[in-house]
């Protein structure tokens, strides 16, 4: 496992959802003298705190507050970086736990953030990476899309979350297969439970719960090793794959869910 943020080989990196949780941990793990970080998030105050902590570690940092559902703002942010060695599409959301169903608004919001929101930054990033000269390793740029181990099972407890993360994981891995010919790599990152504000309200056991700092190191190590699928921890991944192989009719016996933890925010402009 990597021990120093200066060892990561990407001088220019951008991270969405960098105001807290895994996104903030990734920013701090990458922060080092000589590295430029472009951080984004919806909460300007929390994003500013992450940016200040990264600057204290010697990194050059820009911070931009916007909602990844705003495709125009996402494209402007990406193009304003002037070039990227690594994009981490990390911003995500869920519908919470409890209740018996997900509302239409919840389902729409989860897909808009977790899938379309990720693509809103990934697609313009791929454009600028194609125009970049390759680095010492022959790669023009890398994209790490933060999916989830939940992508591998259809849990009635989080239908939209599982489906949106599954779609992101499948799209990322399929696109990586062809992007390699252009000197670009895409990595589907599928972590298990991480101690973040999103998982804090959970009232059920979260096996192999890990701290965001550890998850950040595992994420970056997997990307550096060139893995198309970066998944951890392995015992939980194995359990998810096993659950995904169960007869679909068994799903009706599992608990369902739904009510949102917070009011839905207004839609982005445009």
Mind telling me the catalytic residues? 161
Cα–Cα distance for residue pair 177/173, rounded to 1 Å = 7
Q: What are φ and ψ of residue 36, in 5° steps?
A: -105, 125
Cα–Cα distance for residue pair 187/24, rounded to 1 Å = 19
Rounded to 10 degrees, the C-alpha dihedral 93/214/202/52 comes to: -60
* Residue whose C-alpha is closest to residue 142's, from 157, 129, 133: 129
* Residue whose C-alpha is closest to residue 169's, from 136, 201, 196, 145: 145
Beta bridge partners of residue 229, listed in sequence order: 188
Which pairs from 128-133 meet CB under 8 Å and 24+ separation? Answer: 128/78, 128/79, 128/81, 128/83, 128/84, 129/84, 129/184, 130/182, 130/184, 132/83
Q: How far is CA 148 from CA 50, 113, 190, in A?
A: 23, 14, 4
Cα–Cα distance for residue pair 218/109, rounded to 1 Å = 28
Cis peptide before 233 (omega within 30 of 0): yes
């Amino acid at each position: 496992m990597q021990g120093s943020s200066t060892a990561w080989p990407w001088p220019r990196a951008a991270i969405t959802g960098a105001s807290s949780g895994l996104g903030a941990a990734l920013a701090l793990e990458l922060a080092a003298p000589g590295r430029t970080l472009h951080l984004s998030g919806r909460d300007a105050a929390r994003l500013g705190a992450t940016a200040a902590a990264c600057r204290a570690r010697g990194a050059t940092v820009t911070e931009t507050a916007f909602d990844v559902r705003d495709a125009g703002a996402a494209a402007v942010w990406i193009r304003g970086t002037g070039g990227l060695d690594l994009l981490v599409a990390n911003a995500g959301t869920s519908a919470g736990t409890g209740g018996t169903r997900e509302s239409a608004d919840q389902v729409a919001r989860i897909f808009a953030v977790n899938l379309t929101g990720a693509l809103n930054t990934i697609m313009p990033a791929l454009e600028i990476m194609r125009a970049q000269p390759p680095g010492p390793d022959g790669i023009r740029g890398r994209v790490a899309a933060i999916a989830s181990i939940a992508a591998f099972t259809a849990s009635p407890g989080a239908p939209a979350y599982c489906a949106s993360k599954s779609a992101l994981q499948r799209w990322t891995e399929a696109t990586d297969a062809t992007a390699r010919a252009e000197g670009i790599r895409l990595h589907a990152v599928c972590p298990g439970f991480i101690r973040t504000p999103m998982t804090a309200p959970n009232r059920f056991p979260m096996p192999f719960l890990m701290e965001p700092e550890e998850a950040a190191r595992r994420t970056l190590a997997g990307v550096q090793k060139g893995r198309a699928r970066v998944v951890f921890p392995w015992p939980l991944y194995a359990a998810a794959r096993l659950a995904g192989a169960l007869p679909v009719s068994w799903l009706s016996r599992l608990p369902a869910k739904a009510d949102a933890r917070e009011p839905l925010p207004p839609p982005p402009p445009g």
